[in-house]
Amino acid sequence: MTNQPRKINITCETKRVQPIKIKGKRVIANPTRHQTKGESKAFSSKPRPYHQSSLPTPAIKSSEERDLIYGRHPVLSALESQRGLNRLWITTRLRYDPRFHHLILQAKDNGTVIDEVEPKRLDQITDGANHQGIAAQIAPYAYIELEDLITQAKSVTDPVIVVADGITDPHNLGAIIRTAEAIGSQGLVIPQRRASGITSTVVKVAAGALDNFPVARVINLSRALEQFKDAGYWIYGTAATGSEPIHTVKFSGSTVLVIGSEGDGLSMLTQRSCDVLVSIPLQGKTPSLNASVAAGMALYEIYRQRSLNTLYLDKLRTISLKE
């Protein structure tokens, strides 16, 4: 018996794949390419294309997120007040300027890192802003406790405190701080939630006012207003409706002026905490004012009335002395 070789049939034909219909189109799943006679697989010498990772690339932090201040006046004011600065970038020309040289040496002794850089480097650090040859990274703002603010304000006769209810725009908040400090207010109170804090933009817009102006940050604004009432303050809130014209209201004694947010104004809870609601009469078609503009006008009216009272008292003293 001889062993017969077994014939093995090798077929190159593959099983036909059934088409799949997707929204009216015929799509063949896992299509295969049949090789023709004499065709061989060609191996490409080209490297396979590189596919980037789907992980998100870290975003470059903006100057706002890094708490940068820039410009000669804001940085000079921070140096003069010995405010905490983590790092300072300055051009060679400005570093030896008589206005900055001594203050920079003093800041260096206090632990600030001083980097002498080219203007192009400052352009990169400030995202192309008008840095005027100097920029600094400020330390986190040190808020004052509300109780300490009330205690400090007692050193002034009839103090004025500004409360910002939900001001989210840092430019508006910085403008309010600048105006309040310039006119003579004793401090500011802001809520911790749903409102702008003291950022580098606020510091820059305030143009140095924060160096002499305390800010308290509270969790519960209504509770803070009650604390002011217990301390003998009258609470005046600015509101467009259901209020008295500001020039008809007599401001006297310790005063708290509450400014509402840009869009919604004062919240209903804050309005209930106010003793008097005041409004600024408008004659044009524009229905409302910017929050910082309204704050400036209201503060001016408060101090205008007080200056008139002061002049009247001085006049009475002069008349009594003559008699």
Q: What is the pLDDT of residues 159-217, one digit of tens each?
A: 999 999 989 999 999 999 999 999 999 999 999 888 888 987 898 888 888 888 999 99
Between 10 and 162, the more confident residue is: 162
Q: Are strands 19-22 and 25-28 parallel, antiparallel or unpaired?
A: antiparallel
pLDDT > 90: percent of the chain: 36
Q: Label residue 58 by pLDDT band (50, 70, 90).
A: very low
Q: What's the token pair of residue 96?
A: 């030896």
Give the DSSP letter string of 120-153: HHHHHHTTT---TTEEEEEPPP-PBPHHHHHHHH
The answer, as to whether pTM is greater than 0.75, is no
> Which pLDDT tens digit goes with each residue over 245-303?
999 999 989 999 999 887 778 888 999 999 999 988 888 888 888 899 999 999 999 99
Neighbours of 5 (CB within 10 A): 6
Q: Give the pLDDT confidence score for residue 258 in this predicted structure.
A: 95
Give the DSSP letter string of 286-300: -----HHHHHHHHHH
Mean of per-residue pLDDT scores for the chain: 80
Q: Give the pLDDT confidence score for residue 222 in this predicted structure.
A: 92
Give bridge partners of residue 136 from the DSSP assignment.
69, 88
